[in-house]
Structure 1
Amino acid sequence: MSTPIIRLDLVTSSGAPFLAAGELTQSEARATSSHSHARGQLMGALSGLVSVGLDKQTWVVPAIHAIWIPPHCVHSVRSYGPFSGWSVFIAENRCASLPPEPRAIKTSSLLREAVRRAATWPGVELDQAQTRIAEVIIDELAASKEESLALPRPEDPRLVRITDALAGDLSDNRRLEQWAAWAGVAPRTLSRRFVAETGLTFAQWRQQARLLRALELVAAAVPVTTIALELGYDNVSAFIDMFRRALGTTPGRYQTAETPENRAAVR
């Protein structure tokens, strides 16, 4: 069983403070099976990378992002290697102004500092100063912009066969027509079903899968050239350009932003 980030009564008890937070660092990987709770949860990584399974999607959480999980939303969690992360649990009656669906957000320095402060609280009724900090966390979450860090999973067995094969080898550059022939489906049908079931074209789905895998590898400090080759890019420049368009920065700068020294600098 995974070590709780905070005391379980702060998640389950209606008499607990309306906001509770915790940080946890452990030398082993973290994995929790599918579960839900009445409180909304905002969770992020302090270092490395965490993935969250939500419904038919997988969400990747790099260290400068967080995932909002609304109340009663079934989810699972796993880390890539040793776990270092944080969570904020918000009472259901305070979630009305917060996003009704799961979303990824980029965390601001203000939000990270407020969470860090809240993680030191003893779990009793909040005083006035603590209440103000808790309200800042809720306001920052409510005002946050949604980031695209999810990878939807199709249901059609033919599409699942393709996406599973791609997930196993993202360097595979076969065109849609070639994949359609491999899976025994007409190209037009494949194209139409991809959009209908995932909201993405085949090319967009593959690029999103590559981006999320790139984030995993960047978090593991894999050299950019190695990442580009593993993901099927002809050259490093093409990979860096894709990464910059998606996240607004280069892989190198993104990796630097996740180092403990730089995280400490914004605290």
Structure 2
Amino acid sequence: MRTIDRLPLDEETPRPVAVLHQSFVSGAKTRWHSHRRTELLHASGGLLVLSTESGTWTVPAGHALLVPADLPHELAGYGCSEMRAAFFTDAALGAALPRECRVIAVSDLLDIALRSLASGPLLYDADGRGGHLAALVVDEIARAKEIHIALPLPQTMRLRQLCRDMIQKPSLALDLDGWARHAGVSRSTFTRRFRAETGLSFAEWRRRLRMLHTLTLQADGVPLRQAARTAGYRSSNALRDMMRRTMSETVRPDGSRREAP
């Protein structure tokens, strides 16, 4: 995978919202870096994968990722050719300012507003068309549904190493008792610690990992049947059903979960 220092973006434009087009060759990966502003990443196709010390977030087509300011991260692209990066001041986002990374669904209106603002001058007229587009971008972000496809990592070193081993080989087929023995704890201790440190059951975490792995392979053109075998599923139908259930999960404005229609 080709490694680059960071995306050459001008995030210090003296405007509350700055949106730029950026080419991001498939297979490219940035080094660890951070930004002084909150960042939003939106690819026109393929898959973006962003990693921090606490977890991994996948951003499929039709979605975007909000990254808090000053958060060290690395970014990889699969099947991508073009993306938009937007930078926001704290005052611009207001109540929508993220405290942690969030994947959101991108509405048609948000997509058009991002493209339109990126196509205009960076120093747009804050009281004219550019200012109206910037306000629309912020409003659509505030209304956007959050998609729960983060892959949080445990804090306990032994559990974290176990998760990293699984990330390297998602098809590992140990059952829960086997993973508990691998971590050197009882089944009950393993399940309790894992949920406490990730917010997910081990089964939920492993499903998300396998979905992430599958999305990455598909973005690189790997057929679903082959991706299913690599992810540890016996059939592409079983994998497809799991991904549909996982991707349909959203959050209501009051924080409760539901299945998207």
Q: Under a length normalisation based on structure 2, what TM-score does the superposition of the two structures give?
A: 0.85
Which residue does the alignment assign to 2:46? 48
Q: 8 Å contact 1:48–1:84 — kept in the other structure?
A: no
Which residue does the alignment assign to 1:173? 173
Which residue does the alignment assign to 1:111? 110
Judged with a 3 Å threshold, the aligned counterparts in structure 2 of structure 1 residues 199 and 26 are, in CA distance, closer, same or farther, namely closer
**How much identity, in percent, do the aligned residues show?**
33
Structure 1 counterpart SS, 2:96: coil
Which residue does the alignment assign to 1:221? 221
Which residue does the alignment assign to 1:59? 57
Q: 8 Å contact 1:158–1:185 — kept in the other structure?
A: no
2:15 aligned with 1:17: yes
User: Which amino acid is the alignment partner of residue 73 of structure 2?
Assistant: H
Which residue does the alignment assign to 1:202? 202
> Over the residues paired in the alignment, what is the CA RMSD in angstroms?
2.2
- Name the CA distance, whole Å, in 1 between partners of 2:169 and 2:72: 29
**Paired residues, what number?**
244
Structure 1 position 48, deviation (Å): 1.8
- Name the CA distance, whole Å, in 2 between partners of 1:159 and 1:48: 31
Q: Which runs of 5+ in 2 are unaligned?
A: 250-261
Structure 1 position 240, deviation (Å): 1.3
- Name the CA distance, whole Å, in 2 between partners of 1:171 and 1:244: 19
Structure 1 counterpart SS, 2:197: helix
- Name the CA distance, whole Å, in 2 between partners of 1:136 and 1:61: 22
- Name the CA distance, whole Å, in 2 between partners of 1:194 and 1:17: 43
Q: 8 Å contact 1:5–1:86 — kept in the other structure?
A: no
Moved more, 99-108 or 135-144: 99-108
Q: Which runs of 5+ in 1 are unaligned?
A: 250-267
Residues 143-177 of structure 1 deviation map (CA, whole Å, 9 limit, x = unaligned): 11111121011122221232122112211221110
Which residue does the alignment assign to 1:77? 75
Q: 8 Å contact 2:148–2:247 — kept in the other structure?
A: no
2:162 aligned with 1:186: no
- Name the CA distance, whole Å, in 2 between partners of 1:82 and 1:246: 22
Structure 1 position 27, deviation (Å): 4.1
- Name the CA distance, whole Å, in 2 between partners of 1:213 and 1:165: 13
User: Which amino acid is the alignment partner of residue 21 of structure 1?
Assistant: V
User: Which amino acid is the alignment partner of residue 143 of structure 1?
Assistant: R
Which residue does the alignment assign to 2:122? 123
Moved more, 74-83 or 186-195: 74-83
Q: Under a length normalisation based on structure 1, what TM-score does the superposition of the two structures give?
A: 0.83
Structure 1 position 26, deviation (Å): 4.5
Structure 1 position 247, deviation (Å): 1.9
